[in-house]
Amino acid sequence: MRRSMVRLAGLMLATALLGAACAPQAAPTPGAVTTLLKDDFSQTTSGWDKYSGAEGQVGYDHGHYLIRVDQPQIYLWGTPGLSLADAVVEVDATDVAGPLNNEFGVLCRFAKDGDKSSFYFFAISSDGYYVSGKVVQNRLTDLDPADFKPSGAIHTGAAASNHLAATCQGNHMTFAVNATPLASFTDDELKFGDVGLMAGTFDEAGVAIHFDHIEVKKP
């Protein structure tokens, strides 16, 4: 069963896990190009977070970015070290292993304050559900939809791939999967921060997601 309180506990733990990630790459000069970041993860020095421990693994994996979660009710993420107000984040995500009752997706305006994190999130599951919302100082709020909702636009099952696209522009946030708009909301609380990729578990551990061909652009 999916519950917001379960996911909140996982997010708080993930904040502590990735507090000592590898050094980020420098942000591109604003206004220089439309594409702010483009990565196929073929180079393991492109600046994304790396972590390996009992809770799982985050990092480069043979031309992909892997997030594997080895404990139930845990969420892990990785970021490249950008600082942006507005961004469009597009990425391909493929289910590699674990239960279909999972959660994976993208982040924007990610920022840390000590051991607390804030960001907007946009996520799907391998059994065909989606959700979006925000975390502020480790406190989670689902915004649109209010909880997981099903969508036929999501490719389901083991080894399924989906193209995720999230736009954070001003106070307007939108989320599309496989070119189908699914969610949108307005919110004024978070102004700027990093982008990121995330995956998590519910009652069953072993979720593994490959991310590839990420592109971050100006809206």
pLDDT digits (tens, 9 = 90+) for 58-104: 999 999 999 999 999 999 999 999 999 999 999 999 999 999 999 99
DSSP assigned state of 5: H
Using the predicted structure, report yes or no on whether residue 198 has a pLDDT greater than 80: yes
pLDDT for the residue 34:
86
Question: Quick one: which of 167, 163, 158 has its CA closest to 95?
Answer: 158
pLDDT for the residue 11:
56
pLDDT for the residue 219:
92
Question: For residues 15 and 12, what is the distance between their CA atoms, to the nearest angstrom?
Answer: 5
Is 76 within 8 Å of 55 (Cβ atoms)?
yes
pLDDT for the residue 14:
55
Q: Give the residue extent of every domain in the chain.
A: 4-21+36-217
pLDDT for the residue 61:
97
Using the predicted structure, report yes or no on whether residue 182 has a pLDDT greater than 50: yes
- Name the β-bridge partners of 111: 118
pLDDT for the residue 41:
98
Please write the tens of the pLDDT for every residue from 1-55: 344 434 554 555 554 444 333 333 344 444 444 899 999 999 999 999 999 999 9
Using the predicted structure, report yes or no on whether residue 185 has a pLDDT greater than 80: yes
Burial (CB < 10 A; 0-12, 13-18, 19+), residue 181, is exposed
Q: For the CA atoms of the chain, what is the radius of gyration?
A: 15
Please write the tens of the pLDDT for every residue from 118-167: 999 999 999 999 999 999 999 988 887 768 999 999 999 999 999 999 99
Burial (CB < 10 A; 0-12, 13-18, 19+), residue 28, is middle
Q: Which CATH architecture has domain 4-21+36-217?
A: Sandwich (2.60)
CA distance between the termini of the chain: 35
Using the predicted structure, report yes or no on whether residue 180 has a pLDDT greater than 80: yes
Take residue 7 and report the two structure tokens written for it: 């996911």
* Tally of CA atoms within 13 A in the half-sphere of 97 that contains its CB: 9
